[in-house]
Amino acid sequence: MDSPGVFNHVCFDPKRNMLVVANSRTSAMYCLVYRPEMAAFVALAEYELAMPILSLTIGETDDSEKVPIFCVQTQSIQHYTVSVATSEASEEGMSSAETFWRSQVSSAIASAAAATFPTKTEEASASPPAPVAPALLTPEALLRSSSDTVATATSPSAPAPGPAPTVPAPAPSAPTVPAPVSSSAPSLEDGGLKLLTRTGVASTGVASASSSAAGDGALAAELAAAVKRIEEAANKKLDRALAKMQDAAAKAEKKREEAERRLIESMEKRVDKAMDRTSKRLEEVLNHAVEASSVNAARTMQAAFRTCLAESLVPAFDAAAREMMGQVAKALVTSVGMTSAVSSSSSGASMTPASSAPVHTPVPSPSPMPTTSMPMMPAPSGGPIPTPAPPAAVMPECLRSIAAQLGESLTAANFNEAFQQVLSLTDLEGVVYMCRTCEPSAAAPELSQLVLLSLLSQLNTYMQEGKMMPGTPESSAVLSWIAEGSEAVDPSDQQFSAAARSILDGLNQTLRDTLTSVPGHADYDAVRRSAMAVHLALRAL
């Protein structure tokens, strides 16, 4: 067979007693089957692959007939399957010609073994070795060539051997072609894997005779040593491969654990952020609900107080005031020279707070008068009695020209007409005076949408110009009117809905600026309640 002298790729399968050798410079692969009971190789098969083999190994399988061989080639890694049945030859049913041919093969193997492994006597003699026909590559030569020595099968000066027998040998059956398993392996159709020839299937029936017992023992010992070396090398490769696989598995496990840890941490962060957002939103909703409930409670208390005031306190106060005024009038009439003063005081009592200043008499008041302003309400008897303005509320100059008409409107409790007259003057001092004079809880619901929106707009301008002084009665009256007026805005009025939204937006911004710019504002609570009322009115629109 045509092959190099050195095989640098050797694998041995102890279960099937199969030896596989190859050389990286060629694309040929050789499979040999060894029989321990015969102490000889009984089969030899040659396969030619598409590419040279860089490395090979025999795989593990439970199939005793099919042997997997993994080959690292120049362009890919291939998986071939070799059939042991086609690599072995059965001795049953063989013809005499085939038996003769096999005996010639055995003789050639014995001659090659004698030439390859000379005895000590032959080594001592100076005679040249006997010529050996290079027809077949013997198993001993294969094992010899797999080590670090190269045996020369023939000598150029030796005479040519005799002619071989002319008995034609039966054509051996073709061995099973190893089929590549991977998708990149070349197929038979494209010429990737070609079976060139089967150089020989030799089953030697050489018996261990007494004449060759010593040579067979040495050969068996050398074969056992070679097999042991092959097994040790294969075991080392397998151990290294298993160690690499274990390292790769450990690294993969670490990566998986790290990925799980990062995923859990990211999920925990997302859950924490979602919980924070939910808690903040719930807090805002609760704050709005509490503020709305406080506003509603304040309204309920104010309504109850107004009802109590109108039903019990005002009539009692009216009767007491009338009795006191009668006593004062009698005292003044009996006094000498005080008739004119009595007449002037009685005329001043019939005037409205907007028309003239209160008359001061030398008679002391039996009890202090309340400073809070109240709406003008009709008395049960004796005609309407106007509510006096606070002492600090002095009628501005702009309202003195319409004092009579304003007094009539307030006496008749016509708040809409009174505010319309004042707002038409476009004087903020007059507007603030009206806010102090009239109670917002009673007057605001009586105003029309047009007058109410105009009042809120002018109050917004009053705050923007910085004329409102914190902690004064004017600021308290203005903020109360803003809160009550925002609640009195009708969201169903389509005619003034756009104007109402614009005015309330500006008022809301002004109140928020007041809260943020002056943290220690004296009217902080009142400004906050007014801002909440404006906000609720905007939401209703």
The 10s digit of each residue's pLDDT in 472-490 is: 888 899 999 999 999 999 8
DSSP state of 166: -
H or E stretch including 342? helix 339-349
Region of poorest pLDDT, from 92-96, 266-270, 275-279, 298-302 = 92-96
Dihedrals phi, psi of 141, to nearest 5 degrees: -65, -35
Global pTM value: 0.32
Q: Pick 197 or 86 by higher pLDDT.
A: 86
End-to-end CA distance of the chain: 104
Confidence of residue 259 (pLDDT cuts 50, 70, 90): very high
Q: Does the pLDDT of residue 435 top 60, yes or no? A: yes
Residues in the chain: 541
Q: Are 153 and 144 in contact (CB under 8 A)?
A: no
Tell me, what's the pLDDT at 320?
A: 77
C-alpha span between 469 and 499 (Å, rounded): 28
Confidence of residue 301 (pLDDT cuts 50, 70, 90): confident
In a domain, 362, yes or no: yes
Tell me, what's the pLDDT at 139?
A: 57
DSSP state of 194: B
In a domain, 298, yes or no: no
Q: Pick 309 or 174 by higher pLDDT.
A: 309
Average pLDDT over residues 272-292: 86
Region of poorest pLDDT, from 43-52, 330-339, 428-437, 466-475 = 330-339
In the structure encoding, which two tokens stand for residue 468, read together? Answer: 């409102």
Domain that holds residue 522: 351-540
Give Cβ neighbours of residue 245 (< 8 Å, ≥ 6 apart): none
C-alpha span between 305 and 313 (Å, rounded): 10
Confidence of residue 329 (pLDDT cuts 50, 70, 90): low
Q: What share of the chain in percent tops pLDDT 70? A: 60
Q: Does the pLDDT of residue 371 top 60, yes or no? A: no
In a domain, 391, yes or no: yes
Tell me, what's the pLDDT at 235?
A: 94
Q: Are 77 and 71 in contact (CB under 8 A)?
A: yes
In the structure encoding, which two tokens stand for residue 373, read together? Answer: 């302003």
In the structure encoding, which two tokens stand for residue 32, read together? Answer: 């040999």
In a domain, 145, yes or no: yes
Q: Pick 378 or 393 by higher pLDDT.
A: 393
- Bridge partners of residue 79, in order along the sequence: 70
In a domain, 4, yes or no: no
H or E stretch including 297? helix 213-308
In a domain, 81, yes or no: yes
Q: Are 31 and 47 in contact (CB under 8 A)?
A: yes
Q: Does the pLDDT of residue 187 top 60, yes or no? A: no
> C-alpha distances in angstroms, 426 versus 309, 454, 455?
34, 10, 10
Q: Pick 535 or 383 by higher pLDDT.
A: 535
In a domain, 299, yes or no: no
Q: Does the pLDDT of residue 344 top 50, yes or no? A: no
Tell me, what's the pLDDT at 518?
A: 67
Q: Does the pLDDT of residue 495 top 80, yes or no? A: yes
- Please tell me whether residue 76 adopts helix, strand or coil conformation: coil
Q: Does the pLDDT of residue 33 top 50, yes or no? A: yes
Tell me, what's the pLDDT at 140?
A: 59
> C-alpha distances in angstroms, 237 versus 72, 224, 226?
14, 20, 16
Region of poorest pLDDT, from 19-33, 238-252, 381-395 = 381-395
Helices (H), 132-212: 139-146
Average pLDDT over residues 67-89: 78
Q: To 5 degrees, how large is the angle CA 146–CA 85–CA 81?
A: 65
Q: Does the pLDDT of residue 528 top 60, yes or no? A: yes
C-alpha span between 262 and 268 (Å, rounded): 10
> C-alpha distances in angstroms, 23 versus 2, 7, 109?
12, 5, 22
Number of domains within the chain: 2
Region of poorest pLDDT, from 97-106, 235-244, 452-461 = 97-106
Q: Which of 450, 291, 451 is nearest to 434 (CA)?
A: 451
Tell me, what's the pLDDT at 322?
A: 76
Q: Does the pLDDT of residue 133 top 80, yes or no? A: no
C-alpha span between 205 and 202 (Å, rounded): 9
In a domain, 261, yes or no: no
Dihedrals phi, psi of 134, to nearest 5 degrees: -85, 35
